[in-house]
Structure 1
Amino acid sequence: MKESFALIMFDIDHFKYVNDQYGHLVGDLVLKNLVTHCQSILRDIDLLGRVGGEEFLVILPNTDEGRAMDVAERLRTQISQKTLALANQNKIKITISNGIAIFDPKNEIDLIHSVLADKYYQQADFAMYLAKQKGRNQTRVWKAT
């Protein structure tokens, strides 16, 4: 039986500032600590991967929109409160912008896996960019217009 899953695409807001202000070694430490912190929030069955410079994708198996929103908001709020590095006696904190896409097997009967992957990746990416356009440090869900 096919199960639903959710994708959360997130991007670190203004990460270039961290690298420019504190250097790439500190930026790398922020990324490593971010991943460790995210893994402590996610379930063992969830997948987290880096898909770009400061962009990450989370795959949440057996997850509907409500649960995906809960996870994305928990990630967003906890990350914003966490010190991810120290540099020159400065606590480095970041915020993230999240985009969510939901795969519902009832809506996707005949598509092949690669087409599905591209479709939902693009939807999550679009929703993430919408979150950035609307002010950053928030979560948006992709909706068909």
Structure 2
Amino acid sequence: MLDTDVCIAILNRDERIQPHLERHSPSELRMSAITLAELRFGVAKSAQPKRAQSNLRVLRSKVAVSPFDEEATERYGELRALLEKRGTPIGPLDTLIAAHALSLGRALATHNTREFKRVPGLRVEDWLAD
């Protein structure tokens, strides 16, 4: 599952992403509906909204979106409670994305490893590491 920062790197044609994209078939590339919501927010606040919207359409044609379903909501509730109990909460949208990846049994491709490594059981891959 692709985190928002990885999707932005794809949009920006960051060369560090290419080897990872080549290792995965297009059918394996997915983002959470939460990630799509974050990307749409980026479009809405963009200085060039038409260009940003066009770029997002291209990305959407290549990356499927997984709906945030009931199982994801269950994982979210459990995960948020656990992280708060441990005193290691992460951002609210990151908690939703992590729970979604866990509910689907998918690794999360992100550069935000510091935050997501706090999530027990979540496989984290840094696609933007130098």
* TM-based fold match above 0.5: no
Provide TM-score, normalisation by structure 2. Answer: 0.29
Q: Indicate the structure with greater helix content.
A: 2
Q: Which has the larger radius of gyration?
A: 1
Q: Which has the higher strand share?
A: 1
